[in-house]
Amino acid sequence: FKMFGMSINTMTLGGLAVAIGELVDDAIVDVENVFRRLRENRQLEKPRNSLQVIYEASSEVRNSIVFATIIVVLVFIPLFAMDGIEGKIFLPLGIAYITSIIASLFVSLTLTPALCSYLLPNMKRMSAEHDSWLLRKIKGSQTRVLNVAFPHSKLVLTAVAILTFTVLAMVPFFGKEFLPQFNEGSVTINILTPPGTSLAESNRIGTIAENLIREVPEATETGRRTGRAERDDHAEGVHSSEIEVELKPSKRARADILADIRTRLDEIPGIAINIGQPISHRIDHMMSGVRAQIAIKLFGTDLDVLRAKAEEIRQVMSDVNGVVDLSVEKQVLIPQVHVLFDREKAATYGLLSGEAAEYAELAMQGKAVGQVLDGQRTYDIVMRLSDASRSDIDSIKQIPVDTKDGNVVPLQAIANVQDAKGPNIINRENAQRRIVIQANVSERDLVGVVKKVQAAIDSKVQLPQGYYLTYGGQFESQASASRLIAVLSLFSLAGMFMVLFVHFKSANLALQVMVSIPLAFIGAVIGVWLSGGVFSIATMVGFVTLTGIAARNGIMMIAHYLHLMEHEGERFDLAMIYR
């Protein structure tokens, strides 16, 4: 960890937690084989030197342990190709997992045999001629299973094949998400009032919202921020409020608590709400620039068309089951004053439009003409029209403009000053104007809801030429990460086959090990189904881990078969397999 610049955190601890079972696996294999060989040696008429027996017993399983560890490292390679949020999350997990596995390999090849030489040869249990009670029960159960399986091998293989294909056929029908639903113990609620709402009014509405939220039994504390400073990383107008709500444990499901909060906030007219959680909200914002799980971006040139089509899309999405917190980005027309310069009139006074515009800018925006020193602080002296004059169109028309001949003319003499409406905000992405329709998902899987939304929009919304949609948020990251893992997993499987071929020097035996992988997925898929039937990138990481474990078990078993035949004169028959 020190070498990779990593720390002890949730993800590195997660990697260690996932690896714990395999960390002891190498030592278990080594100790079990040493124990068995020492017991066999004890029962000989002329027992051999214990150190020699331990050395040979450890060497017997050494290659299998090494190659099994290489396989585990290989299957984790796809995690290192992840970028974006998923890479930041799972890369520390992968590094923690692999480094701990390699460390356990080193320990099992050095420390474990040394400890065996001290602790095993003289233990009382070594003199027993039979296995422990638990091991006898396990072996007896396994023998009964084999007694049924071998006479009906074709039936068993057919049944397993059918079960495998049936389980794998279930996978496309599972729901899909980017990350599993967090339960952070708190809720982040964004409230948007119409643009132009004053800070005082936003504060009043925010107070009402907090009081309504505190009526929810699980809400213990609230904290609110209304508006954000202009130099904030995420500048917002004063029409935006963000409320953090701390929740206490409850018998009610989380979805029911959030539904309760939404119902209470619906009592406030004219606001748009978005409910998420502190961490997941930030993840959404980093991925799409929008604090929501689904971000549909509509691109085009005309704001009126964008607003109309965005509202049309919102209406279509509102009919899709599972969509909550649905809203359209607040791009609205607000009162403005437009100053349209007449080049010909300006030319008659010897002025360029840009020169005349400087006078208007000076009057409206102001200009620093000096400074005042107050101790260690410096304040600019700004000259401009008074606040009352800057909001009065008649005063704006009378802004004085100096001409070349030394005369002064009012601004209206060279420009058309008029009341008008303009957008409150202009959002662009890749140099194109866009408006966002955003939503969250409740009690449904994210990908399934997005697919239904896409189908509904494609069938019911017609976009003018030059206008188009993109789908962002967690859905986009889930799709790209899934594709990447799927493609790189093929390369990992190819590398796995090559390693197995080098180890066994037989394509047949290499394939025999790899056949165990889809069979291991039977239990994994059933486990996913029992826990809600939703696939996420975290689930895929679990499947990657399972691939290494399944291959490892196959390697150990087949390597032991080969050892019995090569070194102990066994034939490949049922008796050897029973043994």
Using alpha carbons, select from 312, 329, 334 the residue that is nearest to residue 463: 312
Residues 467-491 pLDDT 10s = 999 887 776 777 777 788 788 888 8
Q: How many CA atoms lie within 13 A of 103 on its CB side?
A: 11
d(CA 97, CA 187): 32
- Please give the pLDDT value at position 265: 92
Give 267's DSSP letter.
Answer: T
Contact indicator for 146, 577 with CB cutoff of 8 Å: yes
Tokens of 242: 């963000």
Q: In which region does residue 440 sit, left (phi positive, over 0), alpha (psi from -120 to 50) or beta (all else)?
A: beta
* Average pLDDT for runs of 10 along the chain of length 579: 85 86 84 89 86 91 86 80 76 86 89 92 77 89 93 93 90 80 83 85 93 92 82 70 90 88 90 84 69 85 88 91 87 81 86 83 85 88 86 87 84 87 81 88 84 90 90 74 80 87 90 86 89 82 80 86 88 89
**What is each CA distance from 542 to 84, 361, 470, 487, 545, in whole angstroms?**
19, 61, 30, 17, 5
β-strand pairing of 175-176 with 534-535: parallel
Instruction: Please give the distance of CA 269 from its chain centroid, rounded to a whole number.
Output: 34
d(CA 468, CA 448): 22
